[in-house]
Amino acid sequence: MTDGPTYGFDTLQIHAGARPDPATGARQTPIYQTTAYVFRDADHAAALFNLQEVGFIYSRLTNPTVAVLQERLATLEGGVGAVCCSSGHAAQIMALFPLMGPGKNIIASTRLYGGTVTQFSQTIKRFGWSCKFVDFDDLDAVRAAVDDDTRAIFGEAIANPGGYIMDVRAVADIADKAGVPLIIDNTSATPYLCRPIEHGATLVVHSMTKYLTGNGTVTGGCVIDSGKFDWSANDKFPSLSQPEPAYHGLKFHETFGALAFTFHGIAIGLRDLGMTLNPQAAHYTLMGIETLSLRMERHVANAGKIASWLEQDDRIEAVTYAGLASSPYADRVAKVCPKGAGALFTIAVKGGYEACVKLVESLEIFSHVANLGDTRSLVIHSASTTHRQLSEEQQVAAGAGPNVVRISIGTEDADDLIADLDQALSKAVG
Ligand SMILES: *Cc1c(COP(=O)(O)O)cnc(C)c1O
CATH code: domain 9-288 is 3.40.640.10
- Kindly tell me if the per-residue pLDDT of 158 is higher than 50: yes
Sheet of strand 130-134: strand arrangement: 81-85, 221-225, 203-207, 182-185, 150-156, 105-109, 130-134
Indicate if ligand 1 lies below 6 Å from the C-beta of 87.
yes
Kindly state if the Cβ of 191 falls inside 6 Å of ligand 1: no
Edge-first strand listing for the sheet containing 344-349: 316-319, 344-349, 404-408, 378-380, 367-368
How does the average pLDDT of the chain come out, rounded?
95
Quick one: pLDDT at residue 80?
A: 98
> For 5-14, 88-97, 119-128, which range has the lowest pLDDT when averaged over its residues?
5-14
Atom of ligand 1 nearest to the CA of 91: 9
Mean pLDDT of 290-294: 98
CB of 115 within 6 A of ligand 1: the answer is yes
pLDDT at residue 161, as a whole number: 76
- Nearest Cα neighbor of 330 from 304, 353, 355 is 304
Check if 118 has its Cβ closer than 6 Å to any atom of ligand 1: no
User: How far is 247 from 36, CA to CA, in rounded Å?
Assistant: 21
Among 291, 297, 349, which Cα is nearest to 323's?
A: 297
Query: What is the Å distance from ligand 1's center to 88 Cα?
Result: 5
**Once rounded to an integer, what is the mean pLDDT over residues 197-214?**
98
Q: Per-residue pLDDT averaged across 115-124, rounded?
A: 94
CA atoms of 178 and 106, how far apart (whole Å) = 12
- What tens digit of pLDDT does each residue of 57-104 get? 999 999 999 999 999 999 999 999 999 999 999 999 999 999 999 999
**What is the rounded average pLDDT of the residues 114-120?**
92
Q: Distance from CA of residue 377 to its chain's centroid?
A: 19
Taking the centre of ligand 1 as the mean of its atom positions, its distance from the CA of residue 113, in whole angstroms, is: 7
Ligand 1 pocket check for 373: Cβ under 6 Å: no
Ligand 1 atom closest to the Cα of residue 160 is 13
Average pLDDT over every residue of 253-260: 97
| Residue-level pLDDT at 13 | 98
* pLDDT the model gives residue 3: 47
pLDDT higher than 90, residue 192: yes
Task: Compute, in angstroms, the gap from residue 207 CA to the centroid of ligand 1.
Answer: 5
Which three-class secondary structure string do you get for the chain? CCCCCCCCHHHHHHHCCCCCCCCCCCCCCCCCCCCECCCCCHHHHHHHHCCCCCCCCECCCCCHHHHHHHHHHHHHHCCCEEEEECCHHHHHHHHHCCCCCCCCEEEEECCCCHHHHHHHHCHHHHHCCEEEEECCCCHHHHHHHCCCCEEEEEEECECCCCCCECCHHHHHHHHHHHCCCEEEECCCCHHHHCCHHHHCCCEEEEECCCCCCCCCCCCCEEEEECCCCCCCCCCCCHHHHCCEHHHCCECHHHHHHHHHHHHHHHHHHHHHHCCCCCHHHHHHHHHHHCCHHHHHHHHHHHHHHHHHHHHCCCCEEEECCCCCCCCCCHHHHHHHCCCCCCCEEEEEECCHHHHHHHHHHHCCCCEECCCCCCCCCEEECHHHCCCCCCCHHHHHHCCCCCCEEEEECCCCCHHHHHHHHHHHHHHHCC
- Location of each CATH 3.90.1150.10 domain in the chain: 293-428
Q: Within 10 A of 347 (CB to CB), how many other CB atoms are there? A: 27
For 321-350, the pLDDT digits (tens) are 999 999 999 999 999 999 999 999 999 999
Level-2 CATH architecture, domain 293-428: Alpha-Beta Complex (3.90)
Q: Is the pLDDT of residue 391 over 90?
A: no
Residue 199 contacts residue 172 (beta carbons within 8 Å):
yes
Strand partners, 204: 184, 224
Q: How far apart are CA 159 and CA 110, in angstroms?
A: 10
**Torsion angle defined by CA atoms of residues 332, 334, 339 and 343, in that order, rounded to the nearest 10 degrees:** 30
**Better-scored residue on pLDDT, 4 or 406:** 406
Position 400 pLDDT exceeds 90 = no
Q: Once rounded to an integer, what is the mean pLDDT over residues 168-180?
A: 98
Residue identifier of the C-alpha nearest atom 4 of ligand 1: 88
Whether the CB of 190 sits within 6 Å of ligand 1: no
| pLDDT of 236 above 90 | yes
How far apart (Å, rounded) are the C-alpha atoms in residues 288 and 275? 21
Instruction: Return the sign of the alpha-carbon dihedral for residues 225, 372, 106, 135.
Output: positive
Is pLDDT above 50 for 130?
Answer: yes
Give the span between the Cα atoms of 332 and 255, in whole angstroms. 39
pLDDT over 70 (residue 175) = yes
**Is residue 424 scored above 80 in pLDDT?**
yes
Residues of the chain with CATH 3.40.640.10: 9-288
Residue 276 contacts residue 105 (beta carbons within 8 Å): no
Q: Which of 89, 161, 91, 160 has its CA nearest to residue 118?
A: 89
Q: From CA 275, how far away is CA 129, in angstroms rounded?
A: 19
Find out whether 224 and 73 touch, Cβ atoms under 8 Å: yes
- % of the chain at pLDDT higher than 90: 89
pLDDT of residue 5: 55
pLDDT score recorded for residue 392: 81
Measured from the CB, is residue 156 less than 6 Å from ligand 1?
A: yes
